[in-house]
Amino acid sequence: MKHLKFNIIFLLLIITSGWNSTRLLAQENLSIIEIDKLTYDYFNQKKWDELIDLGKQSLKNNIDFYYLQYRMGIAYYNKRNYRKAIPYFENVVSITPEDAIAKEYLYYSYLFGLQVEDARNVLVSFNTAEHREKISFYNQEKTINGVSLNYKNILFDDYAINNTVVDNLTQRTRNSLSYYSVNLFNYAANSSIFDFNLSLLSGKNSIYDIAYSPKIIEEKMKQYQLYFSWNKHIGKGTNLKFGLTYMNETLDWNELQQTTTGNVNSPNQTLIYNGSFSNFASYFSFSKTMKNVDFTLASSFSRINSNSLIQPSISISYFPLGNASLYTKTDVFYQHNFTYQSNKNIVLKQSINSTISPNFGLNIFGLYGKIFNFVDDEGMTMYNNLDALNYWYGASANYYFSNKVQFYIILKNEGLINQYTQDEIIIDNPYNSRSILMGMQFNF
């Protein structure tokens, strides 16, 4: 009985294997006419998975024709795997460049696959201005194609060691910071993007140092920054970017005193110190798209707080679904300080991005590595803060009212280390800061 059961199972396995082999063989031996009919039927019935499976098997067996490429592209597009759809639409457009529908599919596949510069190249190839205007996300006739306005408020822990000035203690603490910026960008006709940013960071610090004053010194800080970048599209999925940043920082030290007018005590300030400092940064990057992966090699050279630094980096973005619904970005920085040769540093940034709906997106991010005199955001941000930053983490959300208007908010927590001197010994004092940035972007 056991032998009979074994023989039946074995026979079933042979029959099943033979049926699968026969089915596969029959599929491999299908003619172009039969594959054309089957893929057409799958297309009409919107059976995208079946169409893709048959199409891949056909191409594997060197059966290829115009409408198969067209249908494969549309199948991947409807599955929202835009990056997989791109090569099929590219093949179709190369055969029939006058096909406006195929061009639209290719344009949106690039755009929704976050290959914006490739999308712009397709856009300018349309024959009529009316067609370009109908599908474009910006007005090509305008000099300024977009503007963003940002405000950020930063709050700090109370990490002062002593709230009065004492002989054996020297410390500087942050009290408050506010950030304002306006960003203008232009999509130039020669496959370039120009970006201009003007920002102001203002705040107050407290200085505890009896060498300067027996009272707490209030330090007022203003930091103006101008940023310019040029992105040049040099070929499919390939871009070069160059950025320059200039920062000017002014500091005023004021001793807080009380003066009496009549019977009323009022605060008064005496200027102790006034100074101005300048920082510079330059940035260069080369980026390349390869299927579902974007690679960027970059480097910055900067002069921050009288330190000369070079900061090469590599960035990898991975789109597992071929669209913006889920993708990751990993950045690795190596920082070399020429002023202090022993100061070498590796910093890791990671983000996970998700587009939950056409109108709403979320992003969580983090950074680990000691940041001091650091260049970030493609050269636009310089961290010249008083204290070293050990890590940060946070989240952001974007809401698109339309393809012309979006609102975004960024929440971030930072872990920093303040150093103070007590009895001539330098001591590390960890603390945290929290920030909220809100902004609006308008495309014209």
Residue 191's domain is classified under what CATH number? 2.40.160.60
Which tokens is 427 given?
A: 């001591």
Residue finishing a domain among 110, 135, 160: 135
- Of 135, 164, 190, which residue sits at a domain end? 135
The pLDDT value recorded for residue 127 is 80
Q: Could you tell me if 282 and 363 lie in one domain?
A: yes
CB 67 within 8 A of CB 42: no
**Residues 279, 288: contact at Cβ < 8 Å?**
no
Q: What is the pLDDT of residues 107-123, one digit of tens each?
A: 999 999 999 999 999 99
Kindly list the distances between the CA atom of residue 229 and the CA atoms of 94, 275, 280, 307, 377, in Å, as whole numbers in the listed order: 33, 29, 14, 23, 11
List pLDDT tens digits, range 52-80: 999 999 999 999 999 999 999 999 999 99
- Same-domain pairing of 119 and 172: no
CB 416 within 8 A of CB 159: no
131 shares a domain with 150: no
The number of beta carbons lying within 10 Å of the beta carbon of residue 128 is 9
Question: Are 88 and 222 members of one domain?
Answer: no
Token reading at 210 = 């009896």
Determine how many CB atoms are found less than 10 A away from the CB of residue 41: 12
Residues 6+ apart with CB under 8 A from 386: 172, 174, 205, 418
Of 290, 339, 298, 337, give the one whose Cα is nearest residue 315. Answer: 298
38 and 105 in a single domain? The answer is yes
Match 């990993």 to its residue by tokens: 330
Same domain for 184 and 49: no
The parts of the chain modelled with pLDDT lower than 50 are: 1-28
The whole-angstrom separation of Cα 311 and Cα 377 is: 13
Asked if residue 10 is part of any domain, the answer here is: no
Domain assignment present for 9:
no
Domain final residue pick, 109, 135, 161: 135
Q: Is 332 inside any structural domain? A: yes
Same domain as 201, residue 332: yes
3-state helix, strand, coil in the chain (%, to 5): 25, 55, 25
Angle between the N-to-C axes of helices 82-95 and 100-112, in degrees from 0 to 180, rounded to the nearest 10: 150
Q: Within a 10 A sphere around the Cβ of 196, how many other Cβ atoms?
A: 15
Torsion of CA 417, 423, 425, 426, to 10 degrees: 20
CA angle 359, 360, 363 (to 5 degrees): 150
Domain-embedded: residue 217: yes
Please write the tens of the pLDDT for every residue from 307-338. Answer: 999 999 999 999 999 999 999 999 999 999 88
Same domain, 65 and 182: no
Number of domains in the chain: 2
CB 278, CB 252: distance < 8 Å: no
DSSP 321-347: TSSTTSEEEEEEEEEEESSSTT-EEEE
Q: Which amino acid is at 218?
A: E
Question: Taking the alpha carbons of 140, 141, 143, 149 in that order, is the dihedral positive or negative?
Answer: negative
On the 0-12 / 13-18 / 19+ scale of CB atoms within 10 A, 401 is exposed
- Assign residue 59 the CATH number of its domain: 1.25.40.10
Whether the Cβ atoms of residue 310 and residue 300 lie closer than 8 Å to each other: yes
Same domain assignment for residues 343 and 230: yes
Contact (CB, 8 A) for 103 and 124? no
- Kindly give, in sequence order, each residue whose CB lies less than 8 Å from that of residue 41, ignoring residues fewer than 6 positions away: none
- Burial (0-12, 13-18, 19+ Cβ within 10 Å), 140: middle
In a domain, residue 187? The reply is yes
In whole angstroms, give the CA distance from residue 6 to residue 134: 68
- pLDDT for 403 equals 81
Instruction: Mark whether 85 and 164 lie in a shared domain.
Output: no
Residue 303 lies in a domain: yes
The reply to whether 44 and 166 lie within a common domain is no
**Is residue 288 one of the residues assigned to a domain?**
yes
Write out pLDDT tens, residues 357-387: 989 999 999 999 988 899 999 999 999 988 9
Residue 75: both structure tokens together: 């199948």
Q: 270 lies in which domain range?
A: 146-443
23 in any annotated domain: no
d(CA 301, CA 285): 12
Asked if 165 and 266 sit in the same domain, the reply is: yes
Q: What is the pLDDT of residue 289?
A: 97
Are 83 and 323 contacting, i.e. CB atoms less than 8 angstroms apart?
yes
